[in-house]
Amino acid sequence: MRKPRNESSRRVSSDAVIEAQTKRIGSGTRIEKGSVIRAREVRIGHDVVIDRDCNFTGFGGGPMDKLVIGDDSYFGKSVHAALPVLVVGDYVTVHRNTSLFGLKPCLIGHNTWVGEGSILNSHEVLRIGNAVGIGTNSYIWTHVGNGELLEGCTLLGAKPVVIEDNAWLVGGNLTINPGLTIARKSVILTGSVVTRNTQPGHCYAGVPARDITHRIRPFADTSLTDKFEMMKDFVREYVAEKKAQGIKVVSHSNGYELKGMGTITFSPRADSNRLSPDKDRICVVMRATNTKSIGRGTLFVVDTKTYTKTRSAIERDFMRFLKGYRAKFVPSNAPHVTL
């Protein structure tokens, strides 16, 4: 089995600048040429990539209070963040030329994807949930204020924005106005301007955005049994991909052994006695109980969309396979990003 990398495997370019009172950077992480990090507290996880010419500072250029980036996240070239606090989960992607700025904290949940050229403003707190998709050149605003008060302008204010889990801002060129909640599984179509709170699972389009769920239903009702069967199909796709890459696969009655990587098995339920202590084993289950006492293997629980994170090679490879559009699981010990 592949051995985990140690701290020496991280790579910080000699042209990068990191200024921090406390600093922790995980193994496998790369911080590329021209990037600048200024924060009193820096916690960057394992296998993070911060590409060239990124900039993480406080608003106004001084140090952030806190920068936290979870494992396996990616920041593209010339991402600029000017914030007091930025907390980012695992497997987050923020593409190039995105700007994050404001006077209050910005939180971005696990598995969230932000397209290039976007603006994430946190003049008030901006909370982005898990598995959110934000299309390219999208703008999320928590404040408005430029018209001259002396001339009677009435457009002045700042309100927090919440984007809940699994919301999707499709395509790009969207605007979310201050003070809104974009509800769970809301879908906002390309070019829309959202001026009102959305409803869970509804679809919106236009300027201003209107509910068009009667025309486009973005999510179907899926039973837990159907989800479990779908996960089995995803595993079969994954195994076929590994075979095509030359990995030898042995089929068993309830799963597969991938030579040199580990095993993937299925079970309707799991408890503390059902999962092997082998770190390089994945078990996909419909439901689970007493997961805290389960050994070193990785348990993917369909019912809760959580997994017992071990960072084994096969777990990370399977997560990358799933997370684009198939399924987005979050760590069972930290399912939500918090301050």
pLDDT tens digits, residue range 308-330?
999 999 999 999 999 999 999 99
As a whole number of Å, the end-to-end CA separation of the chain is 36
Q: What is the predicted pLDDT for the residue at 269?
A: 83
What is the DSSP secondary structure assignment for residue 335, as one 8-state letter? -
**Domains of the chain with CATH codes:** 7-211 (2.160.10.10), 224-331 (no CATH)
Q: At what angle do helices 224-244 and 313-323 cross, to 10 degrees?
A: 110
pTM for the model: 0.94
Report whether 120 contacts 156 (CB < 8 A).
Answer: no
Read off the pLDDT of each residue in 100-127 and give the average, rounded to a whole number.
98
CA distance 17 to 31: 9
CA dihedral over 181, 136, 304, 27, signed as positive or negative: negative
Alpha-carbon gap, residue 147 to 129, rounded angstroms: 32
CA angle 141, 146, 152 (to 5 degrees): 125
Residues 45/70, Cβ–Cβ less than 8 Å:
yes
pLDDT at 293: 56
Per-residue model confidence as pLDDT tens digits over 46-84 = 999 999 999 999 999 999 999 999 999 999 999 999 999
pLDDT value at 267 more than 60: yes
Mean pLDDT for the stretch of residues 4-24: 82
pLDDT at 7 over 90: no
φ, ψ for residue 244, nearest 5 deg: -65, -25
